[in-house]
Structure 1
Amino acid sequence: MTLFRNASELLPGLQPAAFRGVRFDVVDVSHEVGRRIVTHFFPGVDAQAREDQGAHDGEIRAVGFVIGDDYIARGRALEAALRAPGPGTLVHPWLGEIRAVVPSGAKLRFQAIELRVMRFEISFEREVAQLTGGLATLPRLLGGLGSIRAAAGALIAAALGRQSGTVIALAAAVGVATDTLRIASREAERARNGAALAGGISSTQRRLARQASAEALAGLPSQLGEAIAQAARPRRRSAVAPGPRPADRPEPIPPRDGARMGLRVLDPVGDLRATMLADRATRAALHAAIATGAVAAASAIDYESREEALRQRDALDAALRVSAALASDLATDLPGPASRLWRAIGDARSALTIDINEIIGRLPRTRRVVAPGVPVMLLAYDLAGDDPRSVFDQAVEITRRNRLANPAFTPTEGVEVLR
């Protein structure tokens, strides 16, 4: 039992504040305000020209402490909140709630002579409207996926904290997480070049079985979603001549296979039995995290036709819609964390639609040709027209696009060809 009920009694003058739900105490808060004035100077002329470009809401600088027996855990939680992508809610002691982002340079300081205390200096910037031009669609989409993973981890932490970390609640959540990892590992093994991903998921499953904790579960959505996204990310070719490599990196999963693998995992995960608040939250969080991995993999697909892009968009949107439904089911018990996850999923769905619609207009259309039993080569001759040099390429493309086992005969339902 401590002599002081809170930090302000220990150090008078401290004011409570929070960022992304992580509480701390501040002793000094300042912010910049004014106008964005650009001054133009001209050689040989003393007069200046000033251009007013609007209101200026500058940095919000906070200096404070994290105090208590759990200062290390709360310090790590604050570090995770600062690293999370996208804007978060800053609860200012005097100005109230502010949507803010954190640029680089936040300082967290531990000292041996100050036990149970962590000092920090953090600069926040107010969230402002972002330009949404065509070139910015992919970064906006990937940033939205990161927000989903962060909100999913916070949902699990809130659910386990709501049930006071009971053994039964923790065991139920671990059970759902273990089943999810097993399903994901099995599907990764089936994917082309998915052995490395399957091995990583299996090792995560073993670590969770050995050391199950609320912190490990809360970090699982980010780990799993990022692992799927990274495994299906194409390699970039280096502009520097390659030198000796200590070890060969595994080949990435083709983006189409990565998106397909993620979507196959979602159905059985969504059907997992969950009755308690902790395991329901874990199921919803991991479902959303896996959906982000599938969307990230699909963002690297080089689509060949409008119809393919539309089918992929609809499949991914349906998966995110299920994730949003699972999150909304928790709104009664966890209104704050569930609504944040639901909003993040909604933003990602909008960004996904914008990103794919941006490229649909530049893609060729397809049409279905019904010619039962006709050899693919004969069909290619008809499509090639007056360009006989493209016959063989046409036949190869038709066979690959329709996954024909025997190109000597076209199926009765017809084949899909580019217009």
Structure 2
Amino acid sequence: MSGSLSTFGLGSSASVLSQIPGVGSLVGNALSSLLGSAALGGVVFDCLDSREAAGRRVQRFLFPERPVEDQLFQDFGALDAPLHLTGFLSGDDYVIRATRMRKVLLKKGPQTLVHPWWGRLRVRIVEPGEISFSSSQIRLARFSVSVIREPAKSTTGGLLSKITDTLNSLLEKADDLVDEATLAVQGVLAPLAIPLALAGGVNSLISEASGIWDGLTASAPQPIQAAVTTPLATLSAGVSAPADNSSTDYANAVVGAFAGVPVALANAVTDPDESVVAPAQAVVGDTSDTVTAAAIGALLLSGADQIATSATTLAAVSGVPGQVQGVAVAVRAITVSQILACWGGLDFVSGADAIAARDIYLAGLDGLIADLESAASAGCGVSLSGLWTAVRAARIALIADCSAQVGRLPSVVAVTVPAQMSAWTLAYAIAGDDVSQVQTVLDDLVTRNGISHPGAVGPGTVEVLEQ
């Protein structure tokens, strides 16, 4: 599994909504702030209306020829009625985001809803949602859906009730990370009048990120360079702070600019099982056109570390160091979320390989936690507790999925080779009766131990997969 968790289609909705009868009067005045940002399954949309009912399931009993005072009531417990949401998917990429929302509506199981008033909820879609387009409303899709709140899980279900799909759990936690990072940026950039120091710090951070990603991808394979061309151009252009910041458009534009390259990189991972037919400009069979999840993960980790280092330097000379670090830590969180998306595309030969990769990814999460603590100490001014909780949950989910994979993978054992011998002889001895595994054992033996000449192995100790 590979690919990004969110394509961050965060476009300006004001110019689009002003074309809608009955809504245009809201845009451009103080009431436009009522149009809250929400997200369902990682897809951000503008929430215009939200309504739900809650109460008790009460049955009333009346008896014939008896006074009304003799009526009885039976209470069957609390009732959470569906939560009905109405909103808009707007921007130049509204069709892409509508396609992503359609996939969310078809997805099985509970999902994360970031509600502009209720906060973050776990919900289930209980009836088909509706996405509609109109030729009179360009760059906009209407959206409505009904969900119910996910009840708290019982703690008395026994051992088997705790067995879950660990990879899906990890991706859900990474999606929560995206949600919390977006909300953190919206909180930092919430003032009606953005201070010049804050706007300057954000643009300096955008400029630094543009230079970092440009340097990291300059010599990358062609598919990576093609994928990041557009988001790099967006970063290079920067984001101008509005004179009247009465909505979340500015914050969303900042998030979209920072998220563009990490999302594009995660989407650039090549499926090794794809057809060998290549585009006309590509060379068929050229391994440089293959983009592995491991390579993208390493690229994203390097970018996240470099952006964090640059942010520390920028914050030290900024008039609002806490706010600059608050935006920077959200940027790193979004980048790390795409790193976790790459985890599902990694292939491990042994349990030791999985643990080594896990430790590298955990280091990225630990660096994010350290940045969160630094931002809080610098006086960010916005609560980052939700983001901190999401990072810790993602860390636990990564460890859980790695442990599940280690249990299914062979171990690496040390074998003493008393005298120099051929790697083929050693491979046959290790494979035992299963001769079909000899080639696999030989390849792993040579690669794992860095053997330059397979005809001469030992004497000494070599590492091999346990059969």
TM-score using structure 2 length: 0.62
Q: How does 1:74-89 map to 2 (within 5 A)?
A: 86-89=112-115
Q: CA RMSD in A?
A: 4.9
SS state at 1:165 partner: coil
Q: Which range is displaced more, 204-213 or 121-130?
A: 121-130
Look up the match of 1:320. Answer: 365
Q: How does 1:8-407 map to 2 (within 5 A)?
A: 29-31=51-53, 33=55, 56-61=79-84, 86-89=112-115, 91=117, 99=121, 101=123, 103=125, 105=129, 123-129=146-152, 134=163, 136-162=165-191, 164-188=193-217, 194-213=221-240, 214=250, 215-232=252-269, 234=271, 252-272=290-310, 273-275=313-315, 276-331=321-376, 333-334=379-380, 336=382, 338-369=384-415, 374=420, 376-377=423-424, 379-380=426-427, 382-384=429-431, 391-407=438-454
Deviation, 1:98, is 7.7
1:367 & 1:53 partners in 2: Cα distance?
Answer: 60
CA contact (8 A) 1:306 1:360 kept: yes
1:89 & 1:61 partners in 2: Cα distance?
Answer: 11
SS state at 1:300 partner: coil
1:334 & 1:30 partners in 2: Cα distance?
Answer: 35
Structure 1 residues 129 and 264: alpha-carbon distance in aligned structure 2, compared to 1, 3 A threshold: same
CA contact (8 A) 2:206 2:258 kept: no
CA contact (8 A) 1:147 1:344 kept: yes
SS state at 1:291 partner: helix
Q: Which has the higher contact order (CA 8 A, sep 6+)?
A: 2
Q: Which runs of 5+ in 1 are unaligned?
A: 1-6, 11-15, 37-51, 67-71, 113-118
1:330 & 1:106 partners in 2: Cα distance?
Answer: 41
Deviation, 1:376, is 3.8
Deviation, 1:320, is 0.9
Q: Which runs of 5+ in 2 are unaligned?
A: 1-25, 40-44, 59-74, 105-110, 137-141, 155-160, 241-249, 316-320
2:36 & 2:440 partners in 1: Cα distance?
Answer: 61
SS state at 2:80 partner: strand
Deviation, 1:366, is 0.2
Deviation, 1:110, is 11
Provide the identity percentage.
20
2:372 & 2:143 partners in 1: Cα distance?
Answer: 33
Look up the match of 1:115. Answer: none
**Per-residue CA distance 1:116-145 (angstroms, 9 max, x = gap):** xxx986644323346976552222222222
Look up the match of 2:20. Answer: none
TM-score using structure 1 length: 0.68
Query: Number of matched residues?
Result: 368
Structure 1 residues 382 and 262: alpha-carbon distance in aligned structure 2, compared to 1, 3 A threshold: same
Structure 1 residues 368 and 232: alpha-carbon distance in aligned structure 2, compared to 1, 3 A threshold: farther
